[in-house]
Structure 1
Amino acid sequence: MFVQWVFLISSVTLISSKGLPERIVGGEEVSILSVPWQASLQKFGYHSCGAAIYSEDIVITAAHCIKNTDVDIYSVRVGSSYTFFGGQVVRVSRILTHEGHAKSMSYDIALIRLQSKLTMNSRVSAIPLADSSPESGSPATVSGWGAVEFNKELSFALREVDVDIMDQKQCLRSYGRVITQDMICAAAPGKDACSGDSGGPLVSDGKLIGIVSFGTECAHPKYPGVYANVAELKPWILSSVERL
């Protein structure tokens, strides 16, 4: 996936390396049965970003994953632990990115409507959206096919890692004013999402709480992973589903 993994230049200025592939760091391989809401957003038939299943015909991903709005180049694979075979592959019908993301790193969320409905089963399942932002210290898991180390290749097998929600003030100390209310941060020593995991799900207590957005390198001890805050963006998601 094309994650907007970033390098810190100053306390408030970041340069995005959106062309870098990325994956889960410090985690382990996991079956799709454990995370049936996980999807692979594919571009020209190759894994580009992660996504989360919202309904039979809608998935959620990061806005920065959608560089080209030509729906013909995208497809979504679900129900497989691997990006290159198995499960169901469905073409994309429509894409809607958050209007606020065009000129900032905030509002990093997009909805994708599929051309046909997914067959829901034990490997393919929607995940409910969080109603409130997670509390600091809450445990969460993030999954995807991103890199296991910064600047390394993508993983073909699905991986998952446990992280903890970070206090917003602490996250601000790491990144400065780039952190806004529609973002949450999560970290654990040696654990993180990475390139290729962008757009993928951050889950706590069985609900989608975040969408992988950006970070400085991967599992950097001073810089946590940053996620779009699903609870804060839920009103936009619900209204956008109606017009997608």
Structure 2
Amino acid sequence: MTVAEKVSESLGIDWTKQNDLEEVLLKYRHVFEESKQAASPLPIGGNTQVVGLPADGYDPPGGLAVTITGWGLTATTNQSPPFMLMKVDITVIDRASCVARFGATDRMICAGEAGRSTCYGDSGGPLVSGGTQVGIVSLGREYCDTDGGVYTTVGNLRSWITAAAGV
């Protein structure tokens, strides 16, 4: 059993379902409610920037230029996590290809290509277009350097974000 499977089992969440992120948010809503206010403000500037959120229901189109950032591996094998935050500029994969290649649902988008994608350790990170976060790193292939990745669509969570965080 993998670490992810053990964590999924202990939390009682089926990570293979389309609503995996929503299940976590609902199951641990009290944690999010208690942590709405940061203990101290984050310094904005330099490498720390505020991102905007898309409109409710926004579905990023195929070909949209996006950027992913993360601390995950840069290849599937023989790698250690990087010491610096990594980023790569990629594009959103059209919906039909996303469904065919990854079995994605309408709550997911796909982006990237072989050698330009997310990998182990990047989950939960942002997928940003311009100054707007359009996705959240969710899953990818077992060998992450062979294809793009799958992201939760932030536009589908917008109403929940507004209700939970007031933004």
Task: Look up the SS of the partner of 1:117 in the other structure.
Answer: coil
Q: Tell me the residue number matched to 1:175.
A: 102
Larger relative contact order (CA 8 Å, sep ≥ 6): 1
Task: Look up the SS of the partner of 2:90 in the other structure.
Answer: strand
Task: Look up the SS of the partner of 2:145 in the other structure.
Answer: coil
Which of 125, 145, 152 lines up with 2:71 in the alignment?
145
2:72, 2:119 within 8 Å by CA — same for their partners in 1? yes
Relative to structure 1, is the Cα distance of residues 226 and 17 closer, same or farther in structure 2, using a 3 angstrom cutoff?
A: farther
Q: Which has the higher strand share?
A: 1
Q: How much does 1:16 deviate?
A: 7.1
2:66, 2:90 within 8 Å by CA — same for their partners in 1? yes
Gaps of 5+ in 1: 1-14, 20-63, 69-100
Q: Tell me the residue number matched to 1:105.
A: 17
1:141, 1:161 within 8 Å by CA — same for their partners in 2? yes
RMSD: 2.8
Relative to structure 1, is the Cα distance of residues 140 and 16 closer, same or farther in structure 2, using a 3 angstrom cutoff?
A: farther
Identity %: 30
Q: Which has the higher helix share?
A: 2
1:182, 1:232 within 8 Å by CA — same for their partners in 2? yes
Q: How much does 1:209 deviate?
A: 0.4
Q: How much does 1:218 deviate?
A: 0.9
Instruction: Compute the TM-score of the two structures, normalised by the length of structure 1.
Output: 0.53
Instruction: Compute the TM-score of the two structures, normalised by the length of structure 2.
Output: 0.75
Number of residue-to-residue matches in the alignment: 147
- The whole-number CA distance in structure 1 between the counterparts of 2:106 and 2:2 is 20
Alignment of 1:222-241 (within 5 A): 224-241=148-165
Alignment of 1:78-117 (within 5 A): 102-103=13-14, 104-107=16-19, 108=21, 110=25, 112=32, 113=35, 116-117=39-40
- The whole-number CA distance in structure 1 between the counterparts of 2:52 and 2:139 is 23
Which of 43, 64, 69 lines up with 1:120 in the alignment?
43
- The whole-number CA distance in structure 2 between the counterparts of 1:140 and 1:158 is 16
Task: Look up the SS of the partner of 2:121 in the other structure.
Answer: coil
Which of 46, 66, 81 lines up with 1:154 in the alignment?
81
Q: How much does 1:17 deviate?
A: 6.3
Report the more deviating stretch, 182-191 or 102-111.
102-111
